[in-house]
């Protein structure tokens, strides 16, 4: 596997060149960004973060709002909050140096078992067992594991641990990741290019593509809400910051009702309006899917007589200067399209 990696390793912006030690800050930053996000998506964000905050001290000194704004588009914003908290912890508790062991790394905010193992192995060459989605797939096929995920995780971890070498464990972990990403792919695996093809039980059985098995997912429930586009006489609109904890914590939003299972009645929704106004319902709704539920938002548009609403007044063309999550960007686009259509009539 290491010989294969030396010939076929991917060139990635956070990966050290052959023969050179890894930068723990870059390894940690990339691993947080890569959680539930593709390599292709992460690349530009990683470069941008390093240009803004070249060291963990720089990131720790940044304002959280700056970090959230730079994170826009990567999703799962709790990662960004934990990223900032972790940088501060590394500086305040460890003098700007990341702990070198899994146990030490696990004490940091936002660092779980996978991230701790990946940073320990890749940044510090510790023989830690790294298990991401690519490695799970490789292990499931190599050992022909018939137990579906996520129940199979302990079995796959045991297999991965048995194979983790003392020599070059960081390169080995990245090698198996690369194998899963480029050869042992979810569909149409290119088995004849695999250095483990002769040992792979699933390939020998002729059913590599069938594995790993996955338990059927439960249907996502749908929640409903009403957002308020409150406009001032000068064209500025009201936005506000969400609570620091919870979904989309610390990001900016259009004021809205809570997101609930039943559709809102107009009178109930207006009790959550940010100000008294002559509200108009915009045609259509905006949909957005989160990990555990689907959201449908109706939009009410009104002009403010009282401009004391809690939040920040921003011209629509300057909304890009604020940390708006994707669902709020969809709302803005929907309202502006409605305005444009009304003007064309």
In this structure, the strands spanning 222-231 and 252-253 are: unpaired
Q: List b or e across 115-148, with b for residues whose CB sees 16 or more CB atoms inside 10 angstroms.
A: bbbbbbbbbbbbbbbbbbebbbbbbbbbbbbeee
| Residue 214 DSSP SS3 | strand
Nearest CA among 48, 87, 91 for reference residue 69: 48
Inter-residue contact 72 to 324 (CB < 8 Å): yes
Inter-residue contact 138 to 202 (CB < 8 Å): no
Q: Is 235 left (phi over 0), alpha (psi -120 to 50) or beta?
A: left
Is 31 considered catalytic here?
yes
| Residue 136 DSSP SS3 | helix
Options 31, 102, 136, 231, the catalytic residue = 31
**At a CB cut-off of 8 Å and minimum separation 6, what does 114 contact?**
31, 130, 131, 132
* Cα distance between residue 31 and residue 42, in whole Å: 10
* Cα distance between residue 257 and residue 296, in whole Å: 12
Task: State the catalytic residues.
Answer: 31
């Amino acid at each position: 596997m290491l010989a294969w990696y030396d010939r076929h390793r991917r060139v990635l912006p956070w990966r050290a060149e052959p023969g050179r030690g890894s930068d723990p800050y870059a390894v940690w930053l990339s691993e947080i960004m890569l959680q539930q996000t593709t390599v292709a998506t992460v690349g530009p964000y990683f470069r941008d973060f390093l240009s803004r905050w070249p060291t963990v001290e720089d990131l720790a000194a940044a304002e959280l709002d700056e970090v959230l704004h730079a994170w826009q588009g990567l999703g799962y914003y709790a990662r960004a909050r934990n990223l900032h908290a972790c940088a501060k912890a590394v500086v305040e508790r460890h003098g700007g140096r990341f702990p070198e062991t899994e146990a030490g790394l696990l004490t940091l905010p936002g660092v779980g078992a996978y991230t701790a193992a990946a940073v320990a192995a890749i940044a510090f060459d510790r023989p830690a067992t790294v298990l991401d989605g690519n490695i799970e797939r490789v292990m499931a096929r190599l050992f022909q594991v018939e137990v579906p995920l996520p129940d199979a995780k302990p079995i796959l971890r045991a297999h991965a641990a048995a194979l983790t070498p003392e020599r070059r464990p960081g390169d080995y972990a990245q090698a198996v990741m690369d194998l899963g990403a480029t050869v042992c792919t979810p569909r149409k695996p290119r088995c004849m290019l695999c250095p483990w093809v002769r040992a792979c039980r699933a390939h020998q059985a002729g059913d590599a593509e069938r594995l790993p098995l996955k338990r059927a997912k439960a249907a996502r429930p749908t929640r409903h809400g009403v957002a308020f586009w409150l406009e001032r006489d000068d064209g500025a609109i009201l936005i506000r910051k969400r609570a620091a904890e919870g979904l989309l914590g610390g990001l900016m939003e259009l004021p809205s009702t809570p997101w609930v299972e039943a559709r809102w009645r107009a009178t109930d929704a207006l009790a959550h309006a940010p100000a008294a106004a002559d509200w108009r319902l915009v045609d259509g709704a905006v949909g957005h899917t989160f990990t555990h539920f689907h959201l449908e938002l109706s939009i009410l548009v009104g002009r403010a007589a009282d401009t004391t609403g809690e939040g920040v007044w921003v011209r629509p063309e300057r909304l890009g200067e604020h940390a708006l999550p994707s669902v709020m960007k969809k709302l803005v686009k929907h309202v502006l399209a409605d305005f444009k259509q009304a003007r064309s009539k």
